[in-house]
A and B are shown apart, each in its own frame.
Chain A
Amino acid sequence: MTNAKSAQQPWAPSRQQDIRLLTGTAQFIDDIDPPGTLHLAMVRSPLAHAIIKGIRTDEALRMPGVHAVLTGEELVRYAGAQPVVWEHIPNQQPVTARAMAVDRVRYVGRIVAAVAAETRALAEDAAELVEVDYEPLDVVSTVEQALAPGAPLLHPEWGTNVFGSQHYTTGDPAAAWDEAEVKVRGTLRVGRQFGAPLETRGCVATWDRHSDELELWISAQSPNRVREFIGQVFNKPLHSIRVRVPALGGGFGTKADFYGEEVITCLMAWLTGRPVKYIEDRLESFVASAHAREQILDMELGADRDGRIRCLRGRVTAALGGEIGSTGMGPAWLGAIMMPGPYKIPNISVEIRGVVTNRSPYGAYRGWGQPKGNFAMERMMDKLAVELGLDPAEIRRRNFVASDQFPHFNGMLPTYDSGRYAECLDLCLAEIEARGWRQQVAAARDGDVAKGIGLAFYVESTAAGPSRGMNALGLDQSGFDEEWVRMDSTGRVTVYTGHTDMGQGIETALADVVVAELGLRSRSDVTVTWGDTATCPYTGYGTGGSRAGALAGAAVKQAAGALRRKILQVAADLLEADPSDLVLADGRVTVRGNPTTGCTLAEVGFAAYRQVVRLKEGTDPTLEGRAVFDPPAQAYSYGCAAALVEVDRATGRVRVLQYLMSHDCGTVLNPMIVEGQLRGGSMQAIAGALYERIVYDDNGQILTTTFMDYAVPTALEIPPIDLVHMETPSPVIPGGMKGVGEAGVIPGGAAIASAVDDALGRDRTFVTELPITAEHVFWMAESRH
């Protein structure tokens, strides 16, 4: 159809999926509508902690249009315990939670029954007719209450409210603390927040009772993992389970976790013999999608008088929910083991604890613990700087791992591959100078509206992770990535990937790799197929942990290389040349030094598929390359965020005026996508620093259940985010890519807190809690006078 317009250069979108999204034709989960679909509504607990004495479903079942009502008592006959991916803490408690409550509820919003009906509205009507008899129990609303002597136990069989704990030690932290010339202490807090993708979670299941074939469409980041877990929960072999993922309206980790709703939806499809759809509504999302972030971090840093850190001692306490989510206490663990960041710390003692409370389950949100570990560490670095009378940049510089000291064991668990930290800091500082931030701060020094500058350095764990390393840690998960690249009879190329495009643009990044490797004319000659376990290869851990660009990028590069060799062999047959004399560029194969002798990729494709007679005997006509890449080690990105904020002394209101990041994520596949990831992550960092908090009262009742209470920032709150790039290839990833998906969100909280300190005076102010509220800032500003 291109003939009419071929004269003029056609407009091309920046990314593969843009046209579908811009015209409204992209298919999201709620657009999946098999004929005869029934709709689910959940009955959720209104109490934070109670025993279920009985459930009456008869009235709901009698309602016309209702097909089934499911309770925990029936569910346990079919479904086993919900899986925990991160079962890596040596003493963590066994988890036996089911997809819905069986005899006890431990948080507001816990599913106690599910109704399948002809429409969602009918299902909701019927859900209101389900009567649940609860016997309320004493509520544990906070970590402090959970740890108090005599506290009510959420899981009495544990004998404690501590789900698990782990202690990492390196060197001799006790002696180093005693000998330290300068000591700083602090308790830092981060509030409860969540990913809040604008499209809520959802799934559509069809489970044929006769063939036993189960097809599950789900808005999730990791179709392979969902398939593994659905099989595990139902004790069902995987070959008869197909998991498909449509366009995702955001993931942010929220859709990396595995939830009860997908189990219930599958079971309801089996019970009713009809396709069944569940779409989480926004109110439900606030209690049913994984909560994250909430932690208390007790920190001690000891240093020499010249500012070199001698020891870090800390205790990280995560406020888990009433049931354990599929991440266990993984995020708290990762945040803790990344806490040393870019600094050389010879002596470390850090304890990590997960404590259960009567709140919604704890799980993944972009950054996965790292924003909290970074907030605590960078706050303490600022405090150490004040103590020593050093500039915040200088204290960091004195402790950086030097660029020639890699690989570097950070003292906890990770070994970093590479980094040029000091140069990256300098780039950020130069940008601050160039923008005249310091002059702005000086001019506002004594005004009603003060200004301040803060910065924070981070190291980001990416390219998760070597399979053997994950297994050694205690996970039954792999970290390898398999990719297939295939050319068709028109010379166009399809990539089959197990990764998921949740908006980050991995479709486009992988297409770019193929274009470069195969010398294609444009990205429009490539389709990237994903989101189907029946047709796409396996990727161990799924899309998360900032791994898709680095791992899939490396695997696609290798697979495309294998395809390239096959293309050249077929072309060699057609051109009666030797493959080593051929050049692949601009969509053509030509003989080196003789560009007029050649053939197009379309001719190669047509011959390989439909005119095999033109190939030599023995030439493999399969135009496909496959590769598996399991990283030998993780790659560690890094960077420095800086914020210029204003603080209204009279009201305590903080605004971010300007924001910038210098960063290095190794080889960049697509600069626009990298910038998009950093900007989006930075926005979520600003949101977490100043605006968003899930609030519970003393009864364990959640008070924030709409976007009117939970303040996702708008275009008026988020300033332009400027970026300064460095590009140092990772030595452990072919192609040199490192991940970037979580980078933006990690350092923002610490940078903004530091800027508020700077505005009000570092000698008087030390922000210890995120999000930073106007009330808190007001009192800090008051105490100045």
Chain B
Amino acid sequence: MSDTSLVRLTLNGRSTTVVCQVRELLSDVLRHQLATRGVHVGCEHGVCGSCTVLVNGKTARSCLMLAAQGDGCDVQTVESLADGDDLHALQKAFSENHALQCGFCTPGFLMIAHELLTENPTPTEQEVRERMSANLCRCTGYEGIVQAVLSVARNAVSEDAARERDPR
């Protein structure tokens, strides 16, 4: 059996092929070969969540996946969130709510928050806390993170309501 493997994946919308060691973690290949350095490795045992990415639309700990398991997958990292020059609403809300200090955990929190709001655009505070409890932050005390996610949800709801009132 070869100790290298050829991995074809879609990374942030772009088709990519990479040759890697079969034992290499997805997190390491994303960071060191594919230059998505926003994937942060905080524990390498799946607890802290700093390395969280979306694999086929679902969050995954990239430190708990082999790169070879990413073959054929659609992978999104924090680098995919901004739309050109425009930051994603979650990115802006994190800054506005002081939801980051050192920022090492931030990419992972953004990805789980993004998934949560995609699945459930109007979460309760408890639902946000439960989902955010998947990841660790050592700086903020979490309140800013929870408020940031809730504020994006609120704004989306009020924009929807505005569109209903004025469908132009």
Contacts and interface: CB of A to CB of B under 8 A. Distances in A.
Interface of A: 11, 13-15, 17-28, 30-31, 33, 121, 196-200, 247-252, 281-282, 502-505, 672-673, 675-676, 679-680, 682-684, 706-708, 712, 714-716, 718, 720-721
B138 to A, nearest CB: 5
Interface of B: 21, 23-24, 31-32, 36-45, 47-48, 50, 77-79, 81-82, 87, 91-92, 94-96, 98, 100-107, 110, 128-130, 132-146
Nearest to B86: A11
Contacts of B41: 30
B48 to A, nearest CB: 6
A198 B31 contact: no
Given A24-B79, A250-B138, A715-B129, A679 B40 contact: no
A282 B43 contact: yes
A198 B102 contact: yes
A505 B92 contact: no
Given A22-B106, A198-B42, A707-B47, A683 B136 contact: no
A247 B137 CA distance: 16
B95 A22 contact: yes
A18 B48 contact: no
A683 B138 CA distance: 8
Nearest to A21: B103
B22 to A, nearest CB: 11
A554 to B, nearest CB: 23
B103 A17 contact: yes
9 contacts: A21-B100, A23-B81, A198-B50, A251-B102, A282-B42, A676-B98, A707-B47, A714-B136, A718-B143
In this complex, which of B44, B103, B104 has the most chain A Cβ atoms within 10 angstroms of its Cβ? B103
Nearest to A744: B141
A672 B147 CA distance: 14
Contact of B102 (A14, A30, A248, A706): A248
B106 A21 contact: yes
Contacts of A712: 136, 138
| B interface, over-half SS | loop
Q: What 5 pairs between A and B have smallest CB-CB spacing?
A: A24-B38, A503-B102, A21-B103, A249-B104, A707-B47
A682 B141 CA distance: 7
Contacts of B24: 121
A198 B144 contact: no
Nearest to A12: B95
Given A14-B95, A18-B95, A198 B48 contact: yes
A198 B104 contact: yes
B136 A503 contact: no
A676 B133 contact: no
B45 A707 contact: yes
A528 B131 CA distance: 35
Contacts of A675: 98
Contacts of B37: 24-25, 27, 31
Nearest to B87: A22
Given A13-B95, A683-B140, A683-B141, A22 B103 contact: yes
A198 B102 CA distance: 9
Nearest to B125: A720
A343 B145 CA distance: 37
A679 B100 contact: no
A715 B142 contact: yes
B34 to A, nearest CB: 12
Contact of B87 (A19, A33, A683, A714): A19
B131 to A, nearest CB: 9
A71 to B, nearest CB: 27
A200 B100 CA distance: 17
A718 B141 contact: yes
In this complex, which of B78, B135, B138 has the most chain A Cβ atoms within 10 angstroms of its Cβ? B138
